[in-house]
Every structure is written in structure tokens, then in C-alpha cells.
Amino acid sequence: MVKKILKIIGVLIILLVVTLFAAPYLFKDQIKAKISEAINAKVDARVSFAEADLSLFKNFPNANVTLEKLVIINKAPFEGDTLISLGELNLKMSIKELFKGKNEAIAIDGITSKNGLINIIFNKDGIGNYDIALKEEKTAADGKSSPLSLKIQEYKIENFKFRYFDESSKIKMVIDSLNHEGTGDFASQKLDLVTKSTAKVSLDMDKVNYMNNIALTLDAVLGIDLEKSKYTFKENKALINQLPLEFDGFIQMVEAGQQYDLKFKTPTSSFKNFLGVIPAAYASSLNNVKTTGDFTVAGFAKGLYSDTSVPKFNIEIASNNASFKYPNLPKIVQNIIIDTKIVNETGILNDTYVNIDQLSFKIDQDVFNAKANIRNITQNAIVDAALKGTINLANLSKAYPIKLDKPLSGILNADVTTKFDMQSVEKSQYQNINNAGTMSLSGFNYVDENGKTMNISTALVQFNPSQVNLKQLNATTGKSDISVTGVLENFYGFIFRNQELKGNFDMNSKQLDVDDFMTTGETTKTDPNDSEQAKQTKKADAMKIPAFLNCTLTAKATTVLYDNLTLKDVSGKLIVKDEKVTLENVKTSIFGGTIGVNGAVSTKGKTPVFNMDLKLNQVDIAQSFTQLDMLKKIAPIAGIINGKLNSSIKLNGNLDATELTPDLKTLTGDLLGQLLSTTVNSSNSTLLTALGANLKFIDVSKINLNDLKAAITFKDGKVNVKPFDIKYKDIKATIGGTHGFDQSMNYNLKFDVPAKYLGSEANALIAKLSAADAAKLESFPINAVLVGNFTNPKITTDINSAVTKLTTQLVNQQKDRLVKQGTSALTDYINKNKKPSDTTKTATPATPATKEEVKAKAAALLNGLFNKKKKTEEPKVE
């Protein structure tokens, strides 16, 4: 019997487990359909979710429905905007709810969600994108019951972001890292809801930031009256950063908006409350901090929040004769007075004003005071402020635990008054800005995270009506020194409106090292399989010209160090705008001559680019073509040609993102150059040595390149040399072709060579000619082709064919001469030996002597000639 009971129990357990596993598959589609029906029956928006899963184990003995990637997209007038995006939404319900019929509503007991976004927007017409609920008449007409019934007992959201933006008032609020949970019986009309909330809040109004990632915490018991839509603070504890606050009163939803009747205050008056306001990133533990005096925050908000009104409110922040001292720090901050009010007396938002009637403190003997009034805040904020006092920056870290890698030093003095409105700032109507006074900084020392130092010996800013003048700035960093004066045209636009910083400055420097103003790379993590060299590779941040700069800088520097170059007497104008630097009439002395530069560098795109127009005057060839990689690739003549160069170079291309040096693979441009006072070191060139060996008629060491002019174009790593002429003795040569930045080459050399240079065989033949015949000889074209590369050239010439041609010409000339000599001698002989009776016979070519007579006389003539020659050659017999 017992065994049977155990078997039955075992079977039931197995059936229960099987059912728990099987139920999600059985009811999944039903749950998914009811959720889709419930949402679409209530909202006028596009709703989608990736999947709906059912689990009977996650919240056992309750069921859990999970919706993944739920998204609600607005329709017009916010077409395409995301209203809600939830990474995960969980609905908790009793298992019995799964067995309800199709027409029965499923009751939801709990809701949780993770990784969500809620995006609330009000357009210029005051319409909110959250108003997506369908009208009651549309949904109630069919008489159907709701597919879901909310009987919430608990809810929770994790890692949410709430964004709010009102286009008309330009109010922007972001609540980030929002975590909130609550428990209470929403099935009752009246309940106590126990909540816990944490978040970080940022608030901007018309481009001015009032809060930035302020940490908020609120644990509260809210009395909720669902019938009256009224929420009352019963027990609560709030923290703004570490500042404690308590609330009393209620918020009630009414037809026109929300009715507020709230009071709040700090539960204690200790000055530690003030230290608690400072964000944790810049603060430290308040334990063991010694304070005197008080700090209180108190206020109220009472009235209707609607489309046309806000509650009247008054926030008072006060401290009187307070002080604080942190343990282990030597300095005390004392005589602290704070008297600040934020007030709205009318319920009209623009009537809100801020009065900082006094803000002062003292460290050692240095006293600093400030006061300000801000009004008309939503339409055109008007600011009236004054600063006066001295701060020793070194004392800040000695009195307050500021988190700095290196301590600051320097003395800040201020005596400034200013009055302006934000519209004048925004529209650059400087005549409406009223400034007076000065601000100075001296002995300032700062070390950044990369170890680079900035030392400002003197900085003086003078505030004049409608203008801020940088009267003096003397600073050093690394190997560099700078002295700057000028005018800041829109100082307030830069400070308050994130506008460009406009100005005109003059800068002087004895030495400027460009490396002192460049970022330093940080070692990056590499793959374990990388080589040791790769593991040591440092990755530098890409250099960027600041987007906020819009200024002109007229500069002079005695020495500028850039890369491996030393530039002397640098002067010119730099215009910085839109992440681009334009160089106008920049001049420098270098390589024994001068270089003029006009052009631009831009870092706006993904890859920095440049274009330059260079004028080189009397620069030393050996130095410039050795130290400038660009010239070395364009014309590899360093160490071969000595002398000076005049040149115009136009070029453009990409820049290395971290060093801002030219990427030679992308270089495009042209060069016009003239060589001056040059000599050739042929022994330093494998190419010239090989050329001299192949062309015996040229001594390459004696080539004269003075005043040689050449035109070059380059693109995609290839250099094209336009044909140019040179003279060597009485030889003319034309040279042209191409070579690559990789040193490969393909050149054609055409020589116009007089015959006398064509070798010993040709000269032996020429020697047999008379001077007149020798003078008649032509010059011969000889071609040479150079391929391979500069260090391993391959040279071919057609000099052998030229010699053959010359030999043929000489032989033909010799034959013609002998024939003419023979014909002339024969004619003379015939004329001398003819009879008078022969006159008529030989008077004209038409009546020649008979063939036999001619043969006989020619034979006699030749015999006489040769016999005579022999006789003259025989020695005389005594």
C-alpha cells in the first residue's frame, strides 16, 4: 500500500515537473497574443518586441512572462522618434492565470524591467510625444474587456535612462543610471508605496548647464490616493550627492496639470552639508572633517504646474562664518559666507531669478569674494556679476582633497565686474556687454597626465567695455617659450554658449618645439601572440586642431624645432578655423637659405590632409635633400650634387594622424627648380659611375649643372621628369623619364655627339681626312636607357651603331675623294696630249674620243702615274 502511494506521489511529481516544462510551450502563444492585444488596444504608436517567453521557475510558484526588446515608436508629429525602448520586461502573475479563457483578463501582480530608455519630447507647439493613448470612445465602444488586469504588488526598474527635452523653453534634463523599485497593493484605492531610487541627473537650460551628473538618492514612503491621484510624502530620506534633504507635503494630479504643495530642508545645519554637495569624483570622505558654522538648504514649491505656469518656489542656501579642515591637510578654509536665493514669486517660469548676494572664503591671508544676479532666465538671461580677491592655487590642494596627479601652484588675482545678456552674447553684439577690471595669474605650474609641464609666469586679462584683452601671457613648456597678446572677441560666447573662441593674437617665441604641443602615445594591450616589437608599440592619440578655435595668430619665432629640423627666424600668419590651420606668408631660414610657405592643414576629416605652396631660395642641396624625406624621395641627389637650389613646389596629400607629417604614398604635386653653383660628386653615385663607364666620351665628374632648370611632377609614388637639356663641352644632352619613391627608374638620355668623341677607330679614319673634309662630318645621336634602380642601374646605349655609321660615312667620303682625284688627273692628262686636229673632236661631250683611244690614254696615264710614283720613291744612286 505504502509503495503504491509512493509510486502515485512519484508519478504526480514527474507529471508536475513535465507540466512545468511543457506549460511555457502550451501557453506561450496565448500570452503573446494577449500582450500584443493589450498594448495595441491602448496606444496609437508602432509597437514591437522580439520575443515573449514564459517561465514557471523564475518566480515559482508564480509564472513569469518576459518580453525582449520592446520598442514603442511615435507616429506624427514625432514620426520615427523612440518613445520607449526596453531591453527586457518581466510580467509576474499567478500560474492559475494561465488557465483562463480567451475572453478573461489575465491579472498582472508584478512588473520588472532592465536597460530601458524613456524619451519625452515637447515640440514648439507644446505637444508631448508621450500622449499616445487611444481615445476612450474608440476602445470602449465594442464592449470588450481588457485582456490584461493590473493588480500590481511590486515593481522594479534597473539601469534606465530618462530623457526630457522641451523645444520651446530649451530645457533639457537627463536622468541616467536610474534604478527604482516599489512595493504596495495597487489593487487598493489607498495604499502606502515603499520606494527606493538612485539616479544621476543633468540639467541644461538654453545651452547653460546647471547640473552635471548629480547623484540623487531617495528612500520614501508615499501615501497614494488613487481616487484623487494624490501622492503624499510620509517618510523620506534624500541625498543630493551627500547633502541630506527631507520632504513634506504632496503632489496631486489634476485636470490642468499637477498641484504642488511641498516643503524641504536639510535635517541638520552642520557645514558638512555643504561639503556633501560636491560630487564624489571631486570629494572625499567627510569622516573626521572638522567644521564650524552652519549650512542649510530650505525651501518650498506651491502651486500649479501646467502648460502656462509653474509652482511658486523659494530655495534659500545659507552659511554664516563657517570653516572646515580635513585631517592630514595643513590648511583651513574659514570665514565662509554663503547667501544665495533661487526665487519665483509669480508662477511664471521666466520670472525666476537667482541672487548670489555673497559668496566668500579665506585661506591664510587670501580672501575671495563673489556675487551675482541672474534674471529673465528662460527668454534672455541677464547676468550681473562681480569677482574680487586672491587665491593661492597651491593652497587649494592643501585645504581640500582635490584629486590631482600633480599639485597646482600660482597666484590668481581678480577684480572684475560684468553685466551682459545672453542674446547679445549669442549674436556677438559686444556693444551691449559692459565689462571692467582685470584678472591675472602668476607663477602657475601644471603637470598633465603625460608628464608635460606648463609654466605661466605671467598672464593678465583686462576686461574693457565690450571687449576682453589678453594683455600679456608669458609661458614655457618643455623646450618652448611663448609670449602672447591679443583680443578675445567672444569670451562669454565661448564660456556660456559653447561657441567658437574667436580672437586675434600676436605671438613671439625664442624657441618653439612642436613636440611640446603634441599628445604622447600610451602603450596598448596586444595579443599574446604578437611579437615583442608589436607589444612595445605605442599608440598615440590622433592630433586634432581644436574645433572651438576661430582665431588669427601672427607669429614670430627665433627658432622652431619640428621633427628633425631646426627652423630659424620663423614669421607669418596662422588662421585657425573649422579644424583647419591656414598658413599665410610663413617664412623661415633653413638649409643656408630661406623657405616661404602658403597653404593649409585640416584635421576635420577622418584622415588629416594638407596642401602647400613652397618657395625655396638659395637652400643648400646637400642639407635639404638629406633632411627632408619628401625631397629625398622626389629627387635622390643628396651627396651627389653640391650647391644651391631655387625652387617652387606645390604639393598636397594626407598626413600621419599622430605626427602630422606627410604620408609620402599620397603625395601629389609639381616642382620647378634651378640649380646654382653646383658641383658633382660622381664617386658617390653608382648610377653616374656606371654611366661614365658606358659613355667614354663623358667625364661625369666634370658635368656643369649651373643654372640648370628642371620641371617635375609627382603622384602615387611616381616622379615624372620633363625632358631638359644640359651641355658638356660641345656635347648636347636631353634627359627625361620617371622614377619611383621606391628608387626604381626608367630614363631616356639623348646625346648629340660630335664624331671626334666616338673612339680610336673613328679618330684614325678622321686623321686621313683633310681639315676641310673633317669639318664636314656630322654630329651623331646616341641614346642611352637607364632602368633598374639608383643603386643597381642597368644601362644600354646605341653607341656601336653610331660608330658603324661614322665608319661608313668616312669610307664613302674617302672613295668619293679618290674618284674625284682620279677623274681630274685623267682629264688633265688627256688635255695635255691631244693634237690640234683633235680640237673639234673633243670640244663637246657629244664627240668623245673613241673607246680605244680613251682606254689607251687612261692606261698610259695610270702607268705613268704609278711609274712616276715609284721613281720618286726609289733612292737616288750616286
Q: What is the pLDDT of residues 831-858, one digit of tens each?
A: 665 555 555 444 444 444 444 554 454 4
pLDDT of residue 31: 64
Is 846 inside any structural domain? no
E strand segments, 745-805:
745-754, 779-789, 792-797
Distance CA 381, CA 345 (A): 17
Residues 6+ apart with CB under 8 A from 855: none
All cell numbers assigned to 390: 586672491
DSSP 188: S
Residue 193 near residue 152 (C-beta atoms within 8 A): no
Task: Calculate the alpha carbon distances from 765 to 241, 780, 804, 812, 863 in Å.
Answer: 108, 16, 12, 11, 28
pLDDT of residue 575: 94
Peptide bond between residue 636 and the one before it cis (omega within 30 degrees of 0): no
Is 339 inside any structural domain? yes
Element (H, E) at 485: strand 480-488
pLDDT of residue 573: 95
Q: How many domains does the chain have?
A: 1
Query: How do beta strands 257-265 and 609-620 pair?
Result: unpaired
Is 88 inside any structural domain? no
Is 149 inside any structural domain? no
For the chain, residues with pLDDT lower than 50 are: 2-23, 25-26, 137-143, 520-528, 532-539, 840-851, 854-855, 857-878
E strand segments, 465-543:
467-477, 480-488, 501-513, 522-523, 538-539
Distance CA 550, CA 501 (A): 6
pLDDT of residue 814: 65
Is 343 inside any structural domain? yes
**What residues are paired with 468 via a beta bridge?**
463, 488
pLDDT of residue 570: 95
Please name the amino acid found at residue 464. Answer: N
Is 614 inside any structural domain? no
Is 651 inside any structural domain? no
**DSSP SS3 for 657:** coil
The closest alpha carbon to 812, from 764, 862, 777, 767, belongs to 777
Peptide bond between residue 61 and the one before it cis (omega within 30 degrees of 0): yes
Query: How do beta strands 792-797 and 779-789 pair?
Result: antiparallel
Write phi, then psi, for 379 (nearest 5 degrees): -100, -55
Four-CA torsion 484, 490, 495, 496, nearest 10 degrees? 180
Is 253 inside any structural domain? yes
Residue 376 near residue 408 (C-beta atoms within 8 A): no
> pTM for the whole thing?
0.65
pLDDT of residue 124: 84
- The boundaries of the domain holding residue 337 are 241-403
